[in-house]
Amino acid sequence: MKTNLRYKFFFILGVILVCIYGIIGLPKSKDELIANWHERIHLGLDLSGGTYLVIQVQQQDAFNQEASSDADRLKEAARKANIPVNEINVEAATSIQDAKNAAIVVKGVPSAQAGNFRSLVNEQLGEWVLTSVNPTDYRLTLKPTNALALWKNTLELSKNTIDKKINALGLTEATVQQRREDADSELLVQMPGTDDPTRVKQIIQTAGVLELYEVKGGPFNSREEALAQQGGVLPLGSKLIGQPITNGSTPSKGGGVYLVARTPVVRGQDIMDAKPESGQMPGTWNTGFVLSQEAARRFGEFTGSHIGTPLAIVLDGKVLEAPSIKNQINDQGVIEGQNSQQDAKDLSLNLKAGSLPARVTYEQESTVGPSLGADSIRQGFVAGIAGVLAVVVVMLVYYKKSGINATLALVLNAIILIACLSYFDAVLTLPGIAGIILTIGMAVDSNVLIFERIREELRAGKAVIPAVDSGFRKAFLTIIDTHITTVVSCAILFLFGSGPVKGFAVTLVIGLIANLFTAVFVSRFIFDWELSRPKPVETLSI
Amino acid sequence: MEIFKKTNYDFIGNMWPFIILSLLLTVAGLVSLWLNGGPKYGIDFIGGAFMDVNFINRPPAEAIRSALRQKISGEIEAQEVSGTQEVLIQTSARDDKALQIARGDMIATLNANFNKNANDQKLDLNQAPQATLADRLRDPLARAGAGLSEDQLQALSKAITGFRDTSPRSGLVSSLDQLSAVPGVTPKILDVIKQECQAGNFAIRSVEIVGPKIGADLRQQAINVVLIALAAMLVYIAFRFEWIYGVAAVIAVFHDTIITIGLFSLFHKQIDLTVIAALLTLVGYSMNDTIVTFDRIRENLKLGVRGTFTDIVNLSVNQTLSRTILTSGLTFLTAVSLFIWGGQVLSGFSFALVIGIMIGTYSSIFVACPILIFWRNLAEGRAAQGRSSVGDKGIKAAKPVKTAK
């Protein structure tokens, strides 16, 4: 009996030490203790202050983009293979749910060429499924596996790009993740300590795609004018770019339609670095960029052989300017005329991060200011301490010395719970605090159940030791049932719930398991220890 | 100390007034819900924008409402938080586009109407994030001959915003002179701050903007999860006891939830995600309470205690009464302390707990137990009928009556 108790004592002591280490580590000073505490106990954004955004990736953009570039490829291939086709169009998807239905519609393939057309599609557009609408018309949709891959890729790319942009803003603690397993077009951006997301939102939504094109004609006032100039048909391998000139905008200020080479000389992904620079005039700002090695070689060759040709600098589809190439340029360039240092900085940031594969919309924005978070913690703390004190006082008055036993179990429960949160890297949120409160309630309940049982047994005339023994034994069944029922419901909340509900479930489950240990094992140990003294115990202070 | 020593109240004999009270409360709740067109959901469930603004001189809520109405579509509510200078502003604008700009619009309108002494050239210290403050002070400090290294500057800015954000200021500095209490703010630095900044009339404490789609999504998910959790508990209790015990416990919990939601509707309080957490908590408490009583009934049945089923239920309730009162009383104390000191963010949560604990305790005795008794009486009646008609309907009588063991 004695040695058994000694083993139990060391076991409990071990658990306490491991838990305390988990909470505060091995501090050498008071400052270190506080630092360790802050490092190990992670507060949710609702307590620490910060912002989170729920972003929806408009997947249909990526699908429409894919359909449109493959439609172009198909046109080109059909022309080369001498298969006459009336028209090849894209049937664009208009919503996220609809994204995978983005299709290429082909009309007017002579039925004699049907076989050739089929094999051409199989050869060139392997990711698409061809279905015939009627003998001359066809519809192409993405194969399910390819559609899934594109979907996932779009989400992943969006996530990485947003991550880059936010990190470049200096928000190093920020995280981007998929919001929920089954919400596969939604991203959750968490930014601790940020209390105004306006700028972040702006930067995420701004694309920042820089392209440099060889200019073949222009500027024109409108698309119609440009087309008329070319006799109604654009020359091969060229396209129109830019915006029509409206009143007030002049070609030099970024308006105008240009006829440019179809493929750009430099594209967004060629940019390796970008940074703001002050302009020649005081107060003006530019954004300088550096090209990657491979792009620099290509660009050097091009500029060397095209001296005198205008080069269109296009940002997000808008022609900024079209200066003539004066000499060979290798790896560096400057975008001039930013309004402020801030604008130049934002542009360089966007140039580096690249563009999103699809537009994004904001579904939710939640900001808790630091003052509210601080107040919540303080008020929660005061309320918690007041509640626990009240409980302890009542237990001590009602159960006398045995109340001490219950108090010790309660304190140990709290220590284990906090230590587990620290070891599991869990985040403490407001609903988590709700879980802790329920845990405290159930911990008190377990003790009350046991004590009431012991009292009953004593009233029935049992001696102290058998009364304690059967009190624990009988209460144990009840405690197991109440705990398992709650754990079962928590498991459901954890599996199917999200965010706040999950936080509640995690703290509650940890608390309940800790409670089985403290109320049943530790509390029993304290009773047994008390009763194992050589002098036989005749009365129990309960 | 002992309060309930061997009690023998006839709970079950006097259950009718309580059952009627329960029914009345449930009906009142349902009627209130029906009259108000369903529960009053917070914006996290229906979409909209919410803002918690703390003022130095709080304008009347009506003035805020009418100022915002000029600028923002949809229904606008402004509610003063008693005991503070805070105002909670909420708009039900559900349009995606309107929501995107809601934050900027609301702040601009508040600035234009309730920050009239503001000087456009100066930075509003009460609305400035740490980084903005540092950017603003960098050059003027250098010009004033009090230039700081970047680290020192950031530390100063952090100290000032930290001072502003802790209690009792809670985000609002009413006069810049208060800043002299911040370590590192010398009279020279304070002069620069006074020249560059001003203390505006309000601070934004929190903002929540929820799109309608995600709101509907969250609502559906919360309801689904709670229903599945209840079903899982029913299955576990049915497995450990008998299925009718599971049904009785779940009905009791349902009863608590409906009354609580009904009371929320009566008091015009909103149901938001924190209230859902509170409802989950009280489902836990109520379930716990019911199981403790059921456990005693099961034990007494096993021990073969004399008397009818009703007597045994009554005995069990009495035997566990001391524990029930004590536990509920103690958790009630915790909930009340949360309600008093827990602050505005937790107010909906603790309100639900305070009500829920009372109803949860009561429902174990007056809802869950009577259901068991009704069922038992019904089953016994049927069994008796079965026995009397053995001749004609042998098949029915041959069916084992599980509840009669």
pLDDT, tens only, A262-311: 777 777 767 777 777 877 777 777 888 887 777 788 888 888 888 778 88
What is the model's pLDDT at position B245? Answer: 93
* Number of domain units in chain A: 3
Whole-angstrom distance, CA of residue A204 vs CA of residue B96? 17
Within 10 angstroms of residue B269's Cβ, the number of other Cβ atoms is: 18
Q: Is the pLDDT confidence value at A325 over 80?
A: no
CA nearest to B233 within chain A: A485
Q: Is the CB of residue B143 less than 8 Å away from at least one CB of chain A?
A: no
Which of the four pLDDT bands, split at 50, 70 and 90, describes residue B244? very high
Which of the four pLDDT bands, split at 50, 70 and 90, describes residue B390? very low
Does this model's pTM top 0.95? My answer is no
Q: Between β-strands A137-142 and A175-180, what pairing exists: parallel, antiparallel or unpaired?
A: unpaired
Q: Average pLDDT in the A91-96 region?
A: 86
Q: Between β-strands A427-428 and A42-43, what pairing exists: parallel, antiparallel or unpaired?
A: parallel
CA nearest to B226 within chain A: A493
Q: Which of residues 164-203 of A touch B (CB under 8 A)?
A: 170, 183, 186, 194-196, 198
A115 burial (CB, 10 Å; 0-12 / 13-18 / 19+) is exposed
CATH code of A116's domain: 3.30.1240
Q: Which of residues 330-369 of A touch B (CB under 8 A)?
A: 361-369
Over residues A41-87, the pLDDT tens digits come to 888 888 888 888 888 888 888 888 888 888 888 888 888 888 888 88
* Same domain for B359 and B320: yes
Does residue A343 form part of some domain? no
* Number of domain units in chain B: 3
Does residue A163 form part of some domain? no
Over residues B84-142, the pLDDT tens digits come to 888 999 887 667 777 777 788 888 888 888 887 767 788 888 888 888 888 888 888 88
* Same domain for A478 and A415: yes
Q: What average pLDDT does chain B have?
A: 84
Candidates A448, A450, A451, A502: best to mutate against B (most CBs of B within 10 A) is A448
Pick from A367, A449, A474: which is nearest to B207 by CB? A367
Q: Average pLDDT in the A391-411 region?
A: 90
Q: Average pLDDT in the B298-315 region?
A: 90
Q: Is the CB of residue B54 less than 8 Å away from at least one CB of chain A?
A: yes
Q: Which of residues 168-227 of B touch A (CB under 8 A)?
A: 169-172, 203-211, 213-214, 217-218, 221-222, 224-225
* Same domain for A467 and A325: no
* Same domain for B240 and B386: yes
* Same domain for B260 and B379: yes
Q: Domain range holding A271?
A: 209-337
* Same domain for B293 and B157: no
Q: Is the CB of residue B158 less than 8 Å away from at least one CB of chain A?
A: no
- Shortest distance, CA B214 to any CA of chain A (angstroms): 6
Pick from B100, B205, B222: which is nearest to A371 by CB? B205
Q: What is the ipTM of this complex?
A: 0.78
Does residue A467 form part of some domain? yes
Whether residues A364 and B210 touch (CB distance < 8 A) is answered with: yes
Side-chain-side CA neighbours of B284 within 13 Å: the count stands at 32
Whether residues A485 and B236 touch (CB distance < 8 A) is answered with: yes
Does residue A171 form part of some domain? no
* Same domain for B299 and B328: yes
Which of the four pLDDT bands, split at 50, 70 and 90, describes residue A434? confident
Q: Is the CB of residue A492 less than 8 Å away from at least one CB of chain B?
A: yes
CA distance readout (Å), B278 to A112, A304, A495, A498, B364: 71, 71, 19, 16, 19
Whole-angstrom distance, CA of residue B271 vs CA of residue B223? 12
* Same domain for B311 and B173: no
Over residues A16-29, the pLDDT tens digits come to 999 999 888 888 88
Does residue A178 form part of some domain? no
Which of the four pLDDT bands, split at 50, 70 and 90, describes residue A253? low
Over residues A144-203, the pLDDT tens digits come to 898 888 888 888 888 888 888 888 777 778 888 888 777 778 899 988 888 778 878 888
What is the model's pLDDT at position A245? Answer: 67
* Same domain for B265 and B241: yes
Does residue A174 form part of some domain? no
Q: Is the pLDDT confidence value at A206 over 80?
A: no
Is B323 or B119 the better-scoring residue by pLDDT? B323
CATH code of B73's domain: 3.30.70
Q: Is the pLDDT confidence value at A252 over 60?
A: no
Nearest to A24 by CA among A407, A418, A430, A374: A418
CATH code of A500's domain: 1.20.1640.10
Whether residues B164 and A452 touch (CB distance < 8 A) is answered with: no
Pick from B222, B280, B323: which is nearest to A452 by CB? B323
* Same domain for B396 and B284: yes
* Same domain for A506 and A377: yes
* Same domain for A483 and A416: yes
Does residue A189 form part of some domain? no
Angle at CA A489, nearest 5°, toward B240 and B293? 45
Whole-angstrom distance, CA of residue A276 vs CA of residue A343? 9
* Same domain for B160 and B299: no
* Same domain for A266 and A136: no
Give Cα A169 distance to the centre of its chain: 16
What is the model's pLDDT at position A247? Answer: 55
* Same domain for B318 and B240: yes
Does residue B4 form part of some domain? no
Q: Is the pLDDT confidence value at B399 over 50?
A: no
Which of the four pLDDT bands, split at 50, 70 and 90, describes residue A32? confident
Contact call for residues A45 and A51 (beta carbons, < 8 A): yes
Q: Is the pLDDT confidence value at B175 over 90?
A: no
What is the model's pLDDT at position B388? Answer: 61
Contact call for residues A390 and A403 (beta carbons, < 8 A): no
Pick from B320, B327, B333: which is nearest to A390 by CB? B333
Q: Is the pLDDT confidence value at A503 over 70?
A: yes
Does residue A183 form part of some domain? no
Does residue B10 form part of some domain? no
Last residue of a domain, one of B162, B181, B204: B204
Whether residues B165 and A445 touch (CB distance < 8 A) is answered with: no
Q: Domain range holding B294?
A: 15-37+211-404
What is the model's pLDDT at position B403? Answer: 41
* Same domain for A109 and A32: no
- Shortest distance, CA A34 to any CA of chain B (angstroms): 17
Whole-angstrom distance, CA of residue A168 vs CA of residue A348? 10
Q: Which of A274-288, B170-184, B194-208, B213-227 has the lowest mean pLDDT?
A: A274-288
* Same domain for A479 and A390: yes
What is the model's pLDDT at position A412? Answer: 92
Q: Which of A92-106, A144-158, A422-436, B349-363 has the lowest mean pLDDT?
A: A422-436
What is the model's pLDDT at position A251? Answer: 45
Q: Average pLDDT in the B177-197 region?
A: 88
Q: Which of A301-315, A377-391, B216-230, B344-358 has the lowest mean pLDDT?
A: A301-315
